[in-house]
Amino acid sequence: MELSKRVIVVGGTGFLGYHAVNELLASSWEVTALGLPLAQSVDLYPSTVRVVLKNLNDTSDEDLMDLLQGQEALVFAAGVDDRVAPQKPAYPFFQKANVQACVRVLRLAKQAGIKRAVVLGSYFAHFERLWPHLKLVERHPYIRSRVEQETAVTSIPGLEVVVLELPYIFGGMPIHGWKSLWEPLIKYIRFTSTVFYMKGGSACISAKAVGQAIVGALEHGEPGTCYPISDENLTWSALLTRLAAADGHQIRVVKLPDWIIKIGLYGLWLIHGLLGREAGLDPRYFAALQTAETFIDSKSSQEALAYKTGGLDQAFRDTVYTRKGVST
């Protein structure tokens, strides 16, 4: 469908929001970025981008409607990821952030006349469909929230919604003090030549490619479709080796047996219990997923959304140099 190319990015000052805005600008979209009032966030973009600094949870429906009026499309790049371990029980926390907040915004968007939306989800929803024997929704509050999110947003009548199921993402962001979620891992491989890690691996993608996929989803994604996207499938050994190479050194990766991984994760579960917390990914069951090869055949999504691959090594360098405090 032909759009007037006015889009609002919810979460527009965050990591993925930043890359989404840049790729939208490169494709001649007129962008409004709604995001948290973080340090330097106003200076992220050229003056052609309207930046609105508001906490979504503290913004009334009326104020949101004012921002949504006149837009043709919306990107929802907000929510919380699986690293968070809120107070027990965890599911209400993830359901509020990933389901309720998203559905609220999309329903208001429909009322404001917005025709199309892209929601950034998780590739764990893809593996819930692919591997039902792992009972991912039953065991992991975060994954449950992402699956419920997909069901809710793709069933809003009168609004064309496309969901991107994202794997592990690499890249940088030019904000001083910004920390990548990969910081602990980079610190680990930076100060040792022998790295002990698990077997298995994951689909990976650059943040730039995610931004390109967002543009593709807005412009020609199939409404109601959930696209698992990726650039490369990497074993953990290959991923760590390439991250170390991006950081300028070589490492040797030693694979630990599964039983050691399970004991370590069970210990983490015990610590959470003592603190009254519950992880979005239950450590008691996460070893089965983390030591598997969570790989994606992304050929169909690459063809449908026209995002480019082959940029992971640059994304690794951006991830490492951001960790060192160098702007990308």
Q: What is the distance between the alpha carbons of residues 316 and 172, in angstroms, rounded to a whole number?
A: 9
Tens digits of residue pLDDT in 34-43: 988 764 555 7
| Closest C-alpha to 33, from 60, 79, 71, 82 | 71
pLDDT of residue 42: 55
Which helix (DSSP H) or strand (DSSP E) does residue 119 occupy? strand 116-122
pTM to 2 decimal places: 0.93
Q: Give the distance, in angstroms, between the CA of residue 280 and the centroid of all CA atoms in the same chain.
A: 14
Given a contact cutoff of 8 angstroms between Cβ atoms, the answer to whether 278 and 180 are in contact is: no
pLDDT of residue 32: 96
Q: What is the distance between the alpha carbons of residues 141 and 134, in angstroms, rounded to a whole number?
A: 14
pLDDT tens for the chain, residues 1 to 328:
444 699 999 999 899 999 999 999 999 999 999 988 764 555 788 999 999 998 888 899 999 999 999 999 999 999 898 888 999 999 999 999 999 999 999 999 999 999 999 999 999 999 999 999 999 999 999 999 999 999 999 999 999 999 999 999 999 988 766 778 899 999 999 988 999 999 999 999 999 999 999 999 999 999 999 999 999 999 999 999 999 999 999 999 999 999 999 999 999 999 999 999 999 999 999 999 999 999 999 999 999 999 999 999 999 999 998 544 444 4
Residue 114 identity (one-letter amino acid): I
Given a contact cutoff of 8 angstroms between Cβ atoms, the answer to whether 236 and 289 are in contact is: no
Tens digits of residue pLDDT in 117-165: 999 999 999 999 999 999 999 999 999 999 999 999 999 999 999 999 9
CATH topology for 6-173+205-230+297-309 is Rossmann fold (3.40.50)
The owner of tokens 């039983």 is: 259
pLDDT of residue 40: 52
Ordered by start, the domain boundaries in the chain are 6-173+205-230+297-309
Cβ-count burial of 300 within 10 angstroms (0-12 exposed, 13-18 middle, 19+ buried)? exposed
pLDDT of residue 327: 41
Given a contact cutoff of 8 angstroms between Cβ atoms, the answer to whether 126 and 295 are in contact is: no
